Amino acid sequence: MSLGFLDVEAAVKSERFSPVARSPMERLARAAGGQFEIRDGWAVAVSYGSAEREAETVTRAAGWADTSHLGKLELQAEPELLEAIVASNASAPFELGCAHRAAGAWWCPLAPSRLLVVCDPGRLAPVRGLLEQAVGASDVPGSLVDVTTVLAALTIVGPAAREMFARFCAIDLRAGATPPGAVRPGSVARQPGVVLCEGEDRFTMLFGWAVAEYVWRQVDEAGRHLGAGPVGVDALRPLAAPVEVSSGA
Amino acid sequence: MTRLPVKPGERLPVKPGERLPAQPGERLARDRVVGFTFDGRSVQGYEGDTVASALYASGQRTFSRSFKYHRRRGLLCCAGQCPNCIVAVDGAPGARACTEPIREGMRVEHLNASPTLEFDAMRAVDVVGSSLTPPGFYYKTFIRPRKLWPVYEKVLRHAAGLGRVARRHTDRAWRTEYRRRHADVLVVGGGVSGLRAAASAAELGADVVLVDEGPQPGGAAAQDGRHLTAGPLEEQAIAAGVEILTGATALGYFDGIVPVWQGRTLHQVRAQQHVFATGTIEQPLVFSGNDMPGVMLSGCARRLAALYAVKPGHRAVVATTSDRGLEAAMSLHEIGVEVAAVADLRQQSGVAAETLRKLGIEVLPGHAVVEAQGRKAVQKATLAPVDARAPSSERAFDCDLVVISGGFVPCTSLLCQAGAKTRYDPERGHFVLGELPAHVHAAGEVAGAEDAESSGKLAGLEAAHLIGMGDLSSRQEADELRARMAELAERLASVLAPPAVCGERSGKCFVCHCEDVTAKDIRQSIAEGYDSIELCKRYTTITMGPCQGRMCELQAVRLMAQEIGRNLSDVGTTTARPPATPVPMGVLAGPPFEPAKRSAIHGRHRELRANVMWAGDWRRPYDYGDPEGEVMAVHRAAGLIDVSTLGKLLVRGPDAGEFLDRLYPNRLSNLKPGRIRYGVINTDAGRIVDDGTICRLDEETFYVTTTSSGAGAVEEWFSWWLTDWDLRVYMTDVTQGLAAVNLAGPRVREIMAEVTDLDCSNEAFAYLDGKRALVAGVGCLILRIGFVGELGYEIHCPAAHGEHLWDALLEAGAPFGIRPFGLEPQRVLRLQKMHILVGQDTDSESTPFAAAMPWIVKLDKEEDFIGRWALERYSSDTPATTLVGFTLADGQAPTEGAVVLDGAHAPIGQVTSSRFSPVLGRVIGMAWVPAGLASDGERVTIADQDRTLRAEVRTKPFYDPEGEVLRS
């Protein structure tokens, strides 16, 4: 029996049923004026009415976007296998705390035997394919689990992003301590979470799906006084082109 | 703030008090007038004024009433150290007027005086009630007759405390923000040494935060003519990238975290290195009437003049133990205050005294102030030689200002909290810093350094070097500075320590201004046996007031040493504890963090008007307004409940079966793929801690569910053993990633047929089967289990599709009479089946045998498992009590926790669950009873508050006892 019941992409649209995947923060985003589009099977808050205002928010203060629809895969295996997988797919060493962007995904070593891969929803299937293939070809056991809906996500971007985090998170996110590509498991708003620095002043924060509403409120509380606000995913500038490797994906 | 710009040549519309001409380092913006009220009276000041400076300029001399005796108190330190000027600002008590900047329209009120500050009825305590209020009076007086205690208590509580907290929540609500700040170096204190330390470390590349209590950095330099030094240093620090927090107080030191209170923000600064440049605190002298308005420290007088252009008095007497007092006398003379006399405790005063004499000021060597007298404020001061206290040698001077300086003590509280040690230095006459921890540095006066700038620079360089910054040149510079500081330290002049009490006449001599502790009180404490400083502290409350010992500890230690005939080193000091400065509780409380877990379907529950309640850390629907109707819907048609809160673990790997066999008392490795088994989790001692189901998905994958509240603990328990056993097993907690609903009732097959192509017939999908299928187009895991006792399917799907699944099932079930049901109906339904709730029906002593589940323990298992040893023992013993069901013929359900009694009305057990069952038409429940009563038909008595109930024991489920419905 497969683990398809964990897989959002296993949903099948039919005449009678049109399942749409929804973020746990959708209601709050709608209440804040979010405008939604269906993308890759997900209802995604793409904007909050004014692209200009959102651009200004992320330029002058900070904006947060609900990115719970990002694909997330957890691979647990022997360290040697994880090292080999990261080396072949991200052309990088498996180094705790250092994420690498390749093949449209962030490869985030969280523990010696645990790798988290975060990718755009459209990249989920090929990345999963890559990992399944790697695990299947290995002699050592491994466990690949789709944790897309285990972890919700907010991407916080802008010059005040660090100040926002400082209101609810004790992780050291100073530029020197957490440069782009750094991944930091820790407590966010007193809940287990992971903070990934995707670029200059841009962080994606992963946390439990069930506490998402609570986390949104904490972020809102922290950001409001700093001039920050929610923004649609379209206000997030594309990440700097990652070094794509010839992974076959 | 409303600003009133003044054009050149235009007269000010108001007069913000009597002021000196512009002072070189003053903080005032004289073109901006700010208005506020004090006890309803309008007062004006300039922007830059504090409440105290503006009030003092307007003629106010009494700022508060003392804690116990309600004596008038005026400005003493003007530096936020003493308790004398504590006021309420805009209804919030506890603000220090001397550091609180004025704001347009602010409402300032006095504390601790009634009906008015000028006429305080409680002053009677000082005049006639002193004999009733000795130290520890609450242990001695107001205790008899006992029946009057409620009256005493009311009076004492009314009299105690400083200020009143607003009764209405809206008046108390103010937002405190926590801000975590990591840094390489934290510098506490923004004087010359602190600024220099910060700049030096930052120039080497360190990320530095500097915090200073004042409205702007500068420290002592701002008041003593060195303001020109502080300004450029501040600019240098800012240019080097130092983050300077002003009006910011470091509250304590907690294993490297320093909370810094700045207005409505509490910074939690985590730095690798800490530099404390906290300076020194000027000490008062102990003499009769030393608390009178008009008696102030030399620093206070100088601050008033230098920073706020306020003339502290017209005719002054100065009493000092060092040159600081002489310098203050000089400053007062320069601003036009007549200095009547200067009493210098030292016999030889040197150059400064000569300069004063040349100005016509009388300097009395070897003299001390022994008494201050006056009605509302000081009017006369008496000076006398310290070695000849005959009244004939005393001289009295009319004055409205007595400036005192009893020396300076290093402000070591934070350093001591950080692990620094202090020792008594007889040459300095106070406790000085000794050993410092590796990550802690002291700079400037707190370290006893006279060259503040060099000391600061050295501390900054050393801090940066310790985190790997700097180069050979900076290290050489640090070596040179170290040598220079050592050389200077050897040349420090010794200081004359004042006597414990300079003069004791008819009036009270206060050692502690905060708590109104007098020299006499300390002596009495010693006489009663409280002869160590820590005991004396607890008995008299000395050092426990708002100043936290800054102004009184050394005097108390001196007096104690004198009285018990030991040296100060033996007496020692009290322990420094946070907070170093009084702080509103609201600041410490911070913003509310109340993490709540919500299922992916929670929004729908709210739309359905569910009564939502806390269940562990989840928000769950208790019911949808009709719990009985919801129960009946499950029995008659179908019900749908959100069970997303169940713990869900994926356990995978070649050794997954073995892993679970070791954790559960039953056998799971032989479970066939697609089948489900119930399991309980035990401690090593064989006690039940959780339960749930285990579904084998494939050869190497198990899907484990746990109770909602036990999910976290089970995950931790599994992880702990997994680490220890080194098995080839991987575990992923998918609790939050999966929504789950339980569809139950006689018509659920018909509903399932509407939403899935899966064959749900009993033959194809048997009880305790687990299958994967599309339900409403969503990939789901379907478990056929029956917690609520009816035919049911527990459907698990990705949380992102939870709402869709819920909607689809309700829509498909509508023609069949489906209703959503909440926790309360679920509790009734499971009770009918006698399904236990771990933690409610079991406690920390419950074993599977006693909980009537002996069948779950497979002692014939080959493998060892958690709790085996204990369970083997229990298996051969008859448990003292057993969990059974009971029914009541009529009446209301007893309270959960009600006592089960024997024939002699002795307690023999307790009720764990009880409800009225609408389908059975009677009350049912579960209870622990003696094993001898655990047979069908036995009668027990239940005592529930004022009721006595007769119940009949049942050992089989009340509903569908043979499980035919479940398996149908």
Q: Are residues B575 and B517 in the same domain?
A: yes
Q: Are residues A49 and A82 in the same domain?
A: no
Q: Are residues A117 and A210 in the same domain?
A: no
Instruction: With CA atoms as reference, report the closest residue to A64 among A239, A178, A184, A232.
Output: A232
How much is the pLDDT for B393?
84
Burial class for B473, CB neighbours closer than 10 Å (0-12, 13-18, 19+): exposed
What integer is the mean pLDDT of B917-926?
A: 95
How much is the pLDDT for B389?
56
Per-residue pLDDT reduced to its tens digit, B502-560: 988 888 999 999 999 999 999 999 999 999 999 999 999 999 999 999 999 999 999 99
A2 in B contact zone (CB under 8 Å): yes
In a domain, B554, yes or no: yes
In a domain, A193, yes or no: yes
Encode burial over B45-66: b for 16+ CB neighbours within 10 A, e otherwise. bbbbbbbbbbbbbbebbbbbbb
How much is the pLDDT for B883?
97
CA-to-CA distance for B255 and B924, rounded, in angstroms? 55
Which of B87-91, B228-232, B775-779, B803-807 bottoms out in mean pLDDT, i.e. has the lowest? B228-232
Which ranges constitute the DSSP H helices of A142-225? 161-168, 212-224
A38 in B contact zone (CB under 8 Å): no
* CA distance to partner chain A, nearest, from residue B593 (Å): 7
User: Residue A242 — very low, low, confident or very high, per pLDDT cuts 50/70/90?
Assistant: very low
Specify which residues B941 forms β-bridges with. Answer: B901, B950
Q: Which chain B residues are within 8 Å of A177, Cβ to Cβ?
A: 182
How much is the pLDDT for A237?
75
Q: Is A19 close to B801, i.e. CB distance below 8 A?
A: yes
Which of A109-113, B22-26, B582-586, B904-908 bottoms out in mean pLDDT, i.e. has the lowest? B582-586
Instruction: With CA atoms as reference, report the closest residue to A203 among A172, A224, A225, A234.
Output: A172
At B692, phi and psi to the nearest 5? 165, -170
What integer is the mean pLDDT of B597-626?
A: 97
Which comes out higher in pLDDT, residue B260 or A139? B260
CA-to-CA distance for B34 and B2, rounded, in angstroms? 7
Q: Which chain A residues are within 8 Å of B701, Cβ to Cβ?
A: 1, 3
Q: Are residues B541 and B454 in the same domain?
A: no
Q: Are residues A96 and A166 in the same domain?
A: no
In chain A, whose CA is at the least distance from the CA of B702? A1
A1 in B contact zone (CB under 8 Å): yes
Which of B108-122, B603-617, B698-712 bottoms out in mean pLDDT, i.e. has the lowest? B108-122
Q: Which of A5, A113, A147 sits opposite B732 (nearest CB)?
A: A147
Which comes out higher in pLDDT, residue B352 or A231? A231
How much is the pLDDT for B902?
85
Instruction: From A92, A112, A146, give the residue that closes a domain.
Output: A146
Q: Which chain B residues are within 8 Å of A163, Cβ to Cβ?
A: 179
Asked if A143 and A77 count as a contact pair (C-beta separation under 8 A), the reply is: yes
In a domain, A14, yes or no: no
Domain count, chain B: 6
User: Residue B15 — very low, low, confident or very high, per pLDDT cuts 50/70/90?
Assistant: low
Q: Are residues A78 and A65 in the same domain?
A: no
Asked if B89 and B107 count as a contact pair (C-beta separation under 8 A), the reply is: yes
Q: Are residues B899 and B920 in the same domain?
A: yes
Q: Are residues A110 and A179 in the same domain?
A: no
Amino acid at B635: H
Domain that holds residue B480: 177-281+410-490
B179 in A contact zone (CB under 8 Å): yes
CATH number of domain containing B263: 3.50.50.60
Asked if B193 and B216 count as a contact pair (C-beta separation under 8 A), the reply is: no
How much is the pLDDT for A239?
64
Q: Are residues B304 and B323 in the same domain?
A: yes
Q: Residue B380: helix, strand or coil by DSSP?
A: strand
User: Residue B167 — very low, low, confident or very high, per pLDDT cuts 50/70/90?
Assistant: confident
CATH number of domain containing B924: 2.40.30.110
Q: Is A210 close to B597, i.e. CB distance below 8 A?
A: yes
* CA distance to partner chain A, nearest, from residue B596 (Å): 6
User: Residue B169 — very low, low, confident or very high, per pLDDT cuts 50/70/90?
Assistant: low
Instruction: With CA atoms as reference, report the closest residue to B336 among B21, B711, B788, B806.
Output: B21
Q: Which of B653, B674, B808 sits opposite A17 (nearest CB)?
A: B808
How many CB atoms are closer than 10 A to CB B487?
A: 9
Q: Are residues B515 and B563 in the same domain?
A: yes
In a domain, B49, yes or no: yes
Q: Are residues B473 and B535 in the same domain?
A: no
ipTM score of complex: 0.96
Asked if B488 and B472 count as a contact pair (C-beta separation under 8 A), the reply is: no
Instruction: From A146, A172, A197, give the residue that closes a domain.
Output: A146
A246 in B contact zone (CB under 8 Å): no
How much is the pLDDT for A185?
97
Q: Which of A76, A147, A177 sits opposite B737 (nearest CB)?
A: A147
Taking only residues 739 to 798 of chain B, the set having a beta carbon closer than 8 angstroms to any beta carbon of chain A reads 755, 770-772, 774, 776-781, 796-798
Per-residue pLDDT reduced to its tens digit, A28-72: 999 999 999 999 999 999 999 999 999 999 999 999 999 999 999
How much is the pLDDT for B391?
61
A174 in B contact zone (CB under 8 Å): yes
User: Residue B5 — very low, low, confident or very high, per pLDDT cuts 50/70/90?
Assistant: very low
Q: Are residues A165 and A224 in the same domain?
A: yes
Q: Is A170 close to B270, i.e. CB distance below 8 A?
A: yes
Strands B881-888 and B778-783: unpaired
User: Residue A166 — very low, low, confident or very high, per pLDDT cuts 50/70/90?
Assistant: very high
What residue has token string 């194809």?
B764
Q: Are residues B295 and B398 in the same domain?
A: yes
What residue has token string 């963090």?
B593
Q: Which of B596, B730, B799 sits opposite A209 (nearest CB)?
A: B799
Q: Are residues A163 and A200 in the same domain?
A: yes
Instruction: With CA atoms as reference, report the closest residue to B101 among B42, B54, B32, B171.
Output: B54
A190 in B contact zone (CB under 8 Å): yes
Q: Which chain B residues are within 8 Å of A6, Cβ to Cβ?
A: 734, 737-738, 779, 798
Per-residue pLDDT reduced to its tens digit, B799-809: 999 999 999 99
B941 in A contact zone (CB under 8 Å): no
How much is the pLDDT for B388?
65
Q: Is A213 close to B596, i.e. CB distance below 8 A?
A: yes
In a domain, A96, yes or no: yes
Q: Are residues B293 and B385 in the same domain?
A: yes
* Strand arrangement of the beta sheet that strand B647-652 belongs to: B676-682, B688-698, B701-706, B647-652, B730-733
Q: Which chain B residues are within 8 Å of A214, Cβ to Cβ?
A: 594-598
Q: Is B781 close to A21, i.e. CB distance below 8 A?
A: no
Per-residue pLDDT reduced to its tens digit, B285-335: 999 999 999 999 999 999 999 999 999 999 999 999 999 899 999 999 999
Q: Are residues B290 and B213 in the same domain?
A: no
Disruptive mutation site among A2, A3, A110, A215 for chain B (greatest number of B CBs within 10 Å): A3
Q: Which chain A residues are within 8 Å of B603, Cβ to Cβ?
A: 27
Instruction: From B691, B713, B734, give the residue that closes a domain.
Output: B734
Q: Is B730 close to A143, i.e. CB distance below 8 A?
A: yes
In a domain, A100, yes or no: yes
In a domain, B960, yes or no: yes
On average, the pLDDT of chain B sits at 92
Q: Are residues B184 and B242 in the same domain?
A: yes
In chain B, whose CA is at the least distance from the CA of A169? B180
Domain count, chain A: 2
CATH number of domain containing A27: 3.30.1360.120
Q: Are residues A172 and A220 in the same domain?
A: yes
Q: Which chain B residues are within 8 Å of A167, Cβ to Cβ?
A: 177-180, 591
Q: Are residues A54 and A162 in the same domain?
A: yes
In a domain, B263, yes or no: yes
User: Residue B135 — very low, low, confident or very high, per pLDDT cuts 50/70/90?
Assistant: confident
In a domain, A55, yes or no: yes
CATH number of domain containing A95: 3.30.70.1520
On average, the pLDDT of chain A sits at 93
B720: Cβ–Cβ under 8 A, 6 or more apart, which residues? none
Q: Is B593 close to A218, i.e. CB distance below 8 A?
A: yes
Q: Which of B653, B734, B772 sits opposite A141 (nearest CB)?
A: B653
User: Residue B4 — very low, low, confident or very high, per pLDDT cuts 50/70/90?
Assistant: very low
CA-to-CA distance for B482 and B370, rounded, in angstroms? 43
pLDDT at B589 over 90: no
Q: Are residues A176 and A133 in the same domain?
A: no
Q: Are residues B391 and B294 in the same domain?
A: yes
Q: Is A141 close to B728, i.e. CB distance below 8 A?
A: yes
In a domain, B833, yes or no: no
Q: Which chain A residues are within 8 Å of B590, Cβ to Cβ?
A: none
How much is the pLDDT for B222?
65
User: Residue B11 — very low, low, confident or very high, per pLDDT cuts 50/70/90?
Assistant: very low
In a domain, B223, yes or no: yes
Q: Are residues A121 and A153 in the same domain?
A: no
Which of B69-78, B166-175, B293-302, B856-865 bottoms out in mean pLDDT, i.e. has the lowest? B166-175
A59 in B contact zone (CB under 8 Å): no
Taking only residues 192 to 221 of chain A, the set having a beta carbon closer than 8 angstroms to any beta carbon of chain B reads 208-211, 213-214, 218, 221
pLDDT at B922 over 50: yes
In chain A, whose CA is at the least distance from the CA of B781? A5
CATH number of domain containing B54: 3.10.20.440
In a domain, A41, yes or no: yes
Per-residue pLDDT reduced to its tens digit, A68-102: 999 999 999 999 999 999 999 999 999 999 999 99
A24 in B contact zone (CB under 8 Å): yes
CATH number of domain containing B699: 3.30.70.1400
In a domain, A10, yes or no: no
Q: Which of B591, B600, B673 sits opposite A1 (nearest CB)?
A: B673
Disruptive mutation site among B181, B208, B620, B736 for chain A (greatest number of A CBs within 10 Å): B736
Instruction: From B734, B759, B784, give the residue that closes a domain.
Output: B734
Instruction: With CA atoms as reference, report the closest residue to B278 among B462, B405, B416.
Output: B416
Q: Are residues B296 and B276 in the same domain?
A: no
Q: Which of B698, B734, B774 sits opposite A6 (nearest CB)?
A: B734
Domain that holds residue A83: 73-146
CA-to-CA distance for B238 and B820, rounded, in angstroms? 63
In a domain, B798, yes or no: no
Q: Which chain A residues are within 8 Å of B771, Cβ to Cβ?
A: 1
Instruction: From B372, B402, B432, give the residue that closes a domain.
Output: B402
Disruptive mutation site among B778, B780, B795, B796 for chain A (greatest number of A CBs within 10 Å): B778
How much is the pLDDT for B428?
86
Q: Are residues A44 and A154 in the same domain?
A: yes
In chain A, whose CA is at the least distance from the CA of B644? A210
CATH number of domain containing B570: 1.10.10.1100
pLDDT at B12 over 70: no
| Angle subtended at Cα B36 by Cα B110 and Cα B91, rounded to the nearest 5 degrees | 45
In a domain, B347, yes or no: yes
User: Residue B411 — very low, low, confident or very high, per pLDDT cuts 50/70/90?
Assistant: very high
Which of A54-68, A233-247, B851-865, B940-954 bottoms out in mean pLDDT, i.e. has the lowest? A233-247
Q: Which chain B residues are within 8 Å of A67, Cβ to Cβ?
A: none
In a domain, A86, yes or no: yes
The two tokens of residue B115 are 């009906």
Instruction: From A84, A116, A146, give the residue that closes a domain.
Output: A146
Asked if A174 and B182 count as a contact pair (C-beta separation under 8 A), the reply is: yes
